[in-house]
Amino acid sequence: MKTDWLQNTKLYRGNLHGHSTHSDGMATPEQVIATYYELGYDFTCLSDHLWADSSFAATTICDGSPWHKDDFITIPSAEMHCYGKAYDNDGLWHIVANGLPLDFAPASDTETAPDLINRAQEAGAYVSLAHPEWYSMTTEEARSVAHADAVEVFNHACSLESGRPYGLGIADFLMQEGHRPHLTATDDSHFRLADAGGGWVMVGAAALTQEAILTALKAGHFYASTGPEFKAIEFDGHQLTIRCSAARTIFIQGAGHRALNRNGTAITSATFDLSELKSPWCRITIIDAAGKQAWSNPFDLSS
């Protein structure tokens, strides 16, 4: 199991989903970048809404490169929209793509969500399903877009604005169906509220470049967090050892409703016997005393 990136590469903190005045955000790209830089991030994504409705979206991708620093970059991104989503008030899908070419075109009125995801991936992007809980993504819809790279399992703005931040149900559903989506946490910051710095990814990359970050994202060499830190995830036969920042609970979650747990005070290390989990896959959740969480990507245990 390839988990050595967690200890052997530098971890870069980044926001994969956020907005600026290029679409419906309240802060200019320069202000957004300054905010994340001051929060100690290494990169952010100006994933402005990409759609032909100027009331909240733009038909072009925001280029943050004029404000790059030696120790801070942006990755060309968009929150892509297209028609066909049930239970969205505008009938729109919300799909985040990181690493798009700057000339990537918005969806047409007839492009479907599966086709839009294919087009973005073929253009080199890393694609995640934004805020499934916020707009009641159905299991049928999830099946149709299971080729996305990731599910956004925590969205900070949705937490603050509507109390519907999660995507864990949809992510687990896709895993039960045999898919292995990565799990991301993001801000979806618009700066209408104090919505920067609530959900992020820690990416183990070879360098702080757009290419290296994208390569690491696609390899799943990252974890998602609203606070806690994974320090090590070590597989040794059927034993799994987690080292982390002080946690009150560690879960190993697997197929169906199967899970292992360790509860206590300031747990920084725990070893689990995966043969007890009886699952072809697992994912790890750690929760700290304040209720903040971190989520690993899924691991395939079938081989």
Binding residues for Zn ion, rule: CB under 5 A, are 79, 94, 130, 188
Measured from the CB atom, is 46 or 242 closer to Zn ion? 46
Contact 47, 23 (CB under 8 A): no
Q: How far apart are the C-alpha atoms of 263 and 15, rounded to whole Å?
A: 30
State which residue, 188 or 288, has the beta carbon closest to Zn ion: 188
- Which amino acid is residue 71, in one-letter code? D
Q: Which is nearer to Zn ion, 31 or 215 (CB)?
A: 31
Least separation in angstroms between residue 17's CB and Zn ion is 6
Least distance to Zn ion, CB of residue 138, Å: 17
Compare residues 78 and 260 and give the one whose CB is closer to Zn ion.
78
Residue of minimal Cβ distance to Zn ion? 94
φ/ψ (deg, to 5) at 130: -75, 145
User: For residues 94 and 182, which CB has a smaller minimum distance to Zn ion in the complex?
Assistant: 94
> Could you tell me the smallest distance in angstroms from the CB atom of residue 180 to Zn ion?
24
Cα gap 303→104, rounded to integer Å: 38
Nearer to Zn ion, 85 or 94 (CB): 94
CB of 94 to Zn ion, least distance (A): 3
Distance between CA atoms of residues 298 and 18, nearest Å: 25
Q: Is the dihedral of CA 139, 143, 145, 151 positive or negative?
A: positive
Q: How far is the CB of 155 from Zn ion (least distance, A)?
A: 8
To Zn ion, the closest distance from the beta carbon of 48 in angstroms equals 8
Judged by beta carbon, residue 156 or residue 221, the one nearer Zn ion is: 156
DSSP states along the chain: ---THHHHSEEEEEES-B--TTTT-SS-HHHHHHHHHHTT-SEE----EESS-TTT-BSS----GGG-BTTBEE--EEEEEEE--TT-TT-EEEEEEES--TTPPPP-TT--HHHHHHHHHHTT-EEEE--TTTTT--HHHHHHTTTSSEEEEEEHHHHHHHS--B-HHHHHHHHHTT---EEEEE--B-SSSS-SSSSEEEEEESSSSHHHHHHHHHHT-EEEESS--EEEEEEETTEEEEEEEEEEEEEEE-STT-EEEEEEEEEEEEEEEGGGT--SEEEEEEE-TTS-EEEPPPEE---
CB of 47 to Zn ion, least distance (A): 7
Minimum distance from CB of 83 to Zn ion (Å)? Answer: 15
In the bound state with Zn ion, the residue whose beta carbon lies nearer, of 57 and 282, is 57
